[in-house]
Amino acid sequence: ARAILDELIEKGRVVRGVLGVNIDTMSAAQAVQRRIKNVPGAVVDGVGNNTPARRAGLQVNDVITAVDGQAVKSARDLLRLLAPRKPGETVSVTFSRNSEDKTVSITLAEST
């Protein structure tokens, strides 16, 4: 809370780095419905145009499973890991697509 207060005092707003995706927590029912492997993580529900995630090749139904080697088991985990990150920082994002794990480096953009 102190860091947020300091940032509000200094900049007048809170600046966060973002991937540019809409996410949800993967449930077993969603996995069956979407015909994807049920892995713990944050499922990508949407990818914004001209966003870091789009440029890195993330797609709808990818399941983000780690950021900088730290496990992502839910959408909440992903948000928690990205919250302290600033625009311009680069993170390593591991995701599952079609039962294959991939890792990409993504430079975060500023939230709008």
Quickly state the pLDDT bin for 8 (edges 50, 70, 90).
low
The DSSP string of 22-71 is: EEEE--HHHHHHHT----SSEEEEEE-TTSHHHHHT--TT-EEEEETTEE
For 96, counting Cβ atoms within 10 Å of its Cβ (0-12 exposed, 13-18 middle, 19+ buried), the class is buried
* pLDDT per residue as tens digits for the range 68-84: 999 999 999 999 999 88
Averaged over 57-66, what is the pLDDT? 94
Task: Tell me how crowded residue 19 is: count the other CB atoms within 10 A of its CB.
Answer: 27
